[in-house]
Amino acid sequence: MEKINSSELLSQLQVLARKVQQGGEQNLDNDINQTTQFSELMKDSINKVNEQQSKASELTKAFEMNATDVPLSTVMIEMQKARVSFEALKQVRNQLVDAYKQVMNMPL
């Protein structure tokens, strides 16, 4: 997973603020579309992590109920996949929160 560069994010926000101040509404539409794509990407990522955790939970329950077609190795692998995907999503969230805090602390 690619690490979010907070300084690059800040510079993009500054460029966007300058466009708004200069009356560049035409270019602003493209930036809004990119933001929409980012929000869709985040929603998809959250849904995938949720699906991964649900799958791991279902396999765990099936193994606990002595299902013969669910080996322990599969359960352990799916649990680790769910843990890793959740940790990655949490790191993205932390980077976004840090970037937001930096933007909010910027002088106008």
What is the value of pTM for the model shown?
Answer: 0.62
Could you tell me how far CA 67 lies from the centroid of its own chain?
34
Q: Are 92 and 45 in contact (CB under 8 A)?
A: yes
Binning pLDDT at 50, 70 and 90, where does residue 1 land?
very low
Q: Write phi, then psi, for 105 (nearest 5 degrees).
A: -90, 0
**CA–CA dist 46, 19 (Å, integer):** 31
Task: Inform me whether the pLDDT recorded for 103 exceeds 60.
Answer: yes
- pLDDT tens-digit series, residues 25-82: 555 556 556 666 777 888 888 999 999 999 999 999 999 998 888 899 999 999 999 9
Instruction: Output the pLDDT for position 39.
Output: 78
